[in-house]
Amino acid sequence: MCVRVFANISAARGWHLPLLSSSFWGGQASDSARVALKLGNCVAARWKSSLIRPHVTIVATATRSQESNPSQAIFFSDAGLNRAAEMRVDKTKLSEAFDSPEALVVPLVDAKNLVKGGKSVLVEASALRLTNADHESAGFPVFLGLSNSTKAPVFAVNLEKVPSAGEERPAWEDGGEWIDLRRYGSQLQPSDAGLLAYARGMLEWQTRNRHCGRCGGRMIAKDGGHSLHCSLDSCKHSAYPRLDPAVIMLVACGNYVLLGRQSRWNPGRYSLLAGFVEIGETFEMSVAREVKEESGIEIDQTSVSYIASQPWPFPSSLMVGFSASAKKNKCDPYSPESEDNNAVAVSPDKLIVVDELRALPQTSADELELEDARWVHKDLLRWVLKGNPLPHSVEFSIPGSYAIANIILSRWTESKREDSMWAGDDVISADIDEGVFEYVLMCLSDDKGREKLIVRGNSKLAYHSDILTAAQEEVKDMGLQVSQLGGGRIDHNVKERKLHVYSSSQAFGLANHSVTCAILRQWYPFHSITLAWG
């Protein structure tokens, strides 16, 4: 059940509902008004007389739930509406739509949306009659569109304020919560989040443009609230909703991606680099400039490619996603012979892990923009995206699935894998202990010839042969084989985030420590990693 409350609009203290003026509808306003407020899953409750005048009637009605859109891929991008732009300029149709019994309103207070039970709350507007409205304290209702499923017209309305802590909440609000959509939005269904974002963005735009930017006169709404016009005949300036385009970019260098973090974020939170487009720039120019300014990395501008976009109405951004390739360090191919001829040979195609690491350009985070910028390997990201924790309680996270950064990273980690996926993908490349311990460099393979290098180290196993046996047991049920490529020792200081690779194995010989360090770097991007051949 839900409640429908009929009341004189001007009576609710601190809950002024802006009414539809003649400038919005194109007709004459009447002298009185009533509004029907319909809020899902709440029961009839009382209001204090201090909150509303005595002439109140509460009537129980059936609940009407909002439709969801489970197939939506990008949050805030689909309100589940047909925007029906042709209706905005038809004053008669707008008036008929708002007066219809199916009409619904999305309420906002101080840029906050009302939710109840994890769902958006709508207001039923069937009992509203037109009157003069105090637009100075509120704003103009906005026609959002027609519901895709029910064809019901949907509007957005700005209320004045939330009751203070000492005031009793109105009955129609019982059980509801006014939330900041930016923080709470990810907990909603995509269609609910999209609808609330659309309403919030439009009403915030109205709030910022209550007065003419040219002469300071009062602005009035037209076109269903989608345009504002100066009320002074001497000016007649018009304003329309504007977006602030921002680029967000996945900058790759081989199998590494460039991530950054701001100091105000939660510990360990990293994301893609992003920034606003400046006047006179193309998107491609903005990508190159922002990456250079924030991280010191130069990109190949010819590599910039569009991926996807996401509305971000906080207050009025459009995030436009791109991919780009960093300019790599120029270096000769890695030659094991230049370091130690005694190391167990690793096949040349596997040495690419070292070349890829050496090709990474050095980051230099702009302290005014970022606290840190660094390269993170694709395998680590794929592991985190699957919900797996990092070893040794290392704090590292990326934005949730509601954010375009997560979507772009997910697509990148899974790209070009359909034909190459195998059981070895589920085996972590570096699984090591804390303190000082023996380690073995190994080659993991299946009967189809697919291979990958892994590193295993365990302080509880005293011999390299024991470490190899443990690794073989680890993967035997997966149809995989493990062969050793030498060993050594690792000193792992977790607190100081330091890894030192050294020594050799009496049973297996000397492992290629450069290859080992390259694999460790893939899984320990926040560690300082060193090696010694002696």
Q: How confident is the model at residue 532 (pLDDT cuts 50, 70, 90)?
A: very high
Q: Which architecture characterizes domain 243-416 according to CATH?
A: Alpha-Beta Complex (3.90)
Q: Which of 397, 331, 311, 249 is nearest to 77 (CA)?
A: 311
**Tokens at 88, concatenated:** 């905005």
pLDDT per residue as tens digits for the range 176-235: 888 999 888 888 888 899 999 999 999 999 989 999 999 999 999 999 999 999 999 999
Given CA atoms 113, 117, 120, 121 in this order, what sign does their dihedral have? negative
Q: How confident is the model at residue 419 (pLDDT cuts 50, 70, 90)?
A: low
pLDDT per residue as tens digits for the range 261-288: 999 999 999 999 999 999 999 999 999 9
How high is the mean pLDDT of the chain?
82
Given CA atoms 146, 57, 129, 12 in this order, what sign does their dihedral have? negative
Q: Which of 373, 377, 327, 374 is nearest to 352 (CA)?
A: 377
User: Mean of the pLDDT values across residues 400-419?
Assistant: 85
Distance between CA atoms of residues 341 and 530, nearest Å: 19
> Which of 16, 135, 229, 464 is flagged as catalytic?
464
Helix (H) or strand (E) holding 38: strand 34-39
**Tokens at 40, concatenated:** 């899902």
Helix (H) or strand (E) holding 498: strand 498-502
For the domain made up of 69-239, give the CATH fold: Nucleoside Triphosphate Pyrophosphohydrolase (3.90.79)
Confidence at residue 387, expressed as pLDDT on a 0 to 100 scale? 87
pLDDT per residue as tens digits for the range 351-391: 999 999 999 999 999 888 899 999 999 999 999 998 888 88
- Looking at the DSSP assignment, which residues form a beta bridge with residue 490? 437, 501
Rounded to 5°, the CA angle 507-509-510 comes to 140
For domain 426-533, is the CATH number 3.40.50.2300? Answer: no
Residue 36 has pLDDT above 60, yes or no: no
Helix (H) or strand (E) holding 98: helix 91-99
User: Mean of the pLDDT values across residues 69-95?
Assistant: 81
Rounded to 5°, the CA angle 380-384-385 comes to 115
Residue 444 has pLDDT above 90, yes or no: yes
The answer to whether residue 226 is catalytic is: no
CB 123 within 8 A of CB 157: yes
430-431 vs 372-377, strand pairing mode: unpaired
Collapsing DSSP to helix, strand or coil, 123 comes out as strand
Task: Give the burial class of 232: count Cβ atoms within 10 A of its Cβ; 0-12 exposed, 13-18 middle, 19 or more buried.
Answer: middle
CB 412 within 8 A of CB 467: no
Distance between CA atoms of residues 505 and 73, nearest Å: 51
Count CA atoms within 13 Å of residue 385 on its CB side: 21
Q: Do domains 69-239 and 426-533 have the same CATH topology?
A: no
Strands (DSSP E) contained in 135-243 are 142-147, 153-159, 177-179, 219-222, 227-230, 238-239
CB 130 within 8 A of CB 159: no
Residue 30 has pLDDT above 90, yes or no: no
pLDDT greater at residue 283 or residue 70 = 283
CB 125 within 8 A of CB 103: yes
Can you give the residue ranges of every domain in the chain?
69-239, 243-416, 426-533
Token pair 């990201």 in the structure block, residue = 381
